[in-house]
């Protein structure tokens, strides 16, 4: 064999080896039937969201993790993001959803293993999807011996409640907290966390036909007082003065919380369900010297990054859920392809519970 033939043979062998590795790499890639709820423009959620189903293969780079989302709820903030009116505006096209729990399927990182449960670290990271590849650094591991629905709804409402109870006033055992919207997701979590911390809570709700049942429910979770808005207006003088007020309603309801607060009390707004501005009387600011604050969980996450404080918070909440001290909220499970019903009903207000996409496939 002459020199030229040897060179050609050598090059052909190199090509064959490279091609063989490429074919093996393709064989090693995992293929899954995937689903996602995607929007390419903002607007009415049930109109702009598209249900996309496709077969996809995933090849992980170093430090990447493939997960399967097990459950992801529909929160008001998710609706507002799709409408284009929330504080976070993702690049389009985007996947809906900002909260959920996922199971690790494959890992090319060093800390996570298949079977681990994780939460996405970033807010509005697009959780309404069956399978997704994350950098391992963008995932938070949590224990997997709690209800999957509880894990899926941990990052927003219970976390918000805990942060507000810990970060604004150095509350001591026996101190009083007042809140409106007490039967909201945050409100229910605040009642249970306050009970664990041995705090008293004054809980304000709107009047309704089944008000006695609602009062009994909140009392069973640990509420000290449960009053309708009209009852509260007449009872402030007889009730203990709170050091902290949690407002998710706004309008005149927020004013009533200012009336209830003790001198130098702190009034924290984390929502505006009435779509009316927070209303504070001049006398409340001058004569009572109350402090008006706001809280946004997404900002806290952004500022904390992957801090120990964040991990400690999830450890605290998951332990409460494991022991039964923090209950799973009322949820309505739906598959991805029934998204229109879930989004339309959420826009109109929750009825029997919050919708949650379950990925049982």
Residues designated catalytic: 86
Q: Label residues 258-279 b or e (16+ Cβ within 10 Å = b).
A: bbbbbeebbbbbbbebeeeebe
CA–CA dist 180, 184 (Å, integer):
9
- Which residue has tokens 């009053």? 227
Quick one: tokens of 228? Answer: 């309708």
Report the run of H or E that residue 202 belongs to, with start and end.
strand 200-205
Burial class (CB in 10 A: 0-12, 13-18, 19+), 206: middle
CA–CA dist 74, 201 (Å, integer):
27
Closest CA relative to residue 194, chosen from 152, 224, 229, 214? 224
Q: Label residues 74-105 b or e (16+ Cβ within 10 Å = b).
A: bbbbbbebbeeebeeebeeebbbbbbbbbbbb
Closest CA relative to residue 254, chosen from 287, 217, 290? 290
């Amino acid at each position: 064999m002459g020199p030229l033939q040897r060179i050609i043979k050598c090059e052909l062998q190199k090509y064959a080896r490279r091609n063989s590795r490429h074919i093996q790499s393709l064989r090693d890639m995992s293929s899954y039937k995937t689903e996602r709820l995607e929007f390419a423009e903002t607007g009415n959620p049930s109109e702009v969201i598209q249900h996309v189903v496709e077969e996809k293969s995933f090849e992980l780079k170093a430090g990447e993790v493939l997960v399967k989302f097990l459950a992801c709820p529909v929160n008001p903030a998710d609706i507002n993001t799709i409408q284009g009116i929330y504080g976070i505006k993702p690049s389009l096209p985007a996947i809906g959803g900002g909260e959920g729990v996922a199971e690790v399927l494959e890992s090319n990182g060093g800390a996570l293993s298949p079977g681990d449960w994780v939460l996405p670290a970033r807010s509005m990271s697009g959780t309404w999807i069956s399978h997704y590849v994350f950098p391992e650094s963008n995932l938070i591991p949590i224990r997997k011996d709690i209800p999957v629905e509880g894990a899926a709804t941990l990052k927003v409402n219970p976390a918000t409640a805990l942060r507000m109870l810990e970060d604004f006033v150095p509350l001591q055992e026996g101190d009083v907290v007042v809140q409106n919207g007490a039967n909201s997701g945050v409100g229910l979590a605040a009642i249970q966390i306050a009970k664990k911390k041995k705090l008293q809570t004054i809980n304000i709700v709107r009047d309704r036909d089944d008000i006695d049942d609602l009062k009994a429910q909140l009392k069973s979770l640990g509420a000290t007082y449960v009053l309708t808005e009209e009852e509260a207006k007449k009872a402030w003088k007889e009730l203990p003065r709170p050091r902290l007020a949690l407002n998710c309603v706004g309008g005149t309801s927020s004013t009533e919380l200012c009336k209830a607060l003790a001198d130098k009390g702190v009034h924290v707004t984390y929502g505006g369900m009435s779509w009316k501005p927070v209303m504070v009387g001049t006398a409340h600011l001058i004569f009572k010297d109350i402090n008006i604050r706001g809280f946004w969980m997404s900002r806290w996450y952004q500022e904390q990054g992957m801090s120990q404080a964040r991990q400690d918070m999830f450890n605290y909440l998951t332990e409460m859920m494991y022991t039964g001290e923090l209950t799973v909220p009322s949820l309505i499970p739906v598959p991805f392809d029934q998204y229109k019903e879930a989004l339309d009903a959420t826009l109109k207000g929750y009825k029997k519970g919050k919708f949650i996409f379950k990925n049982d496939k």
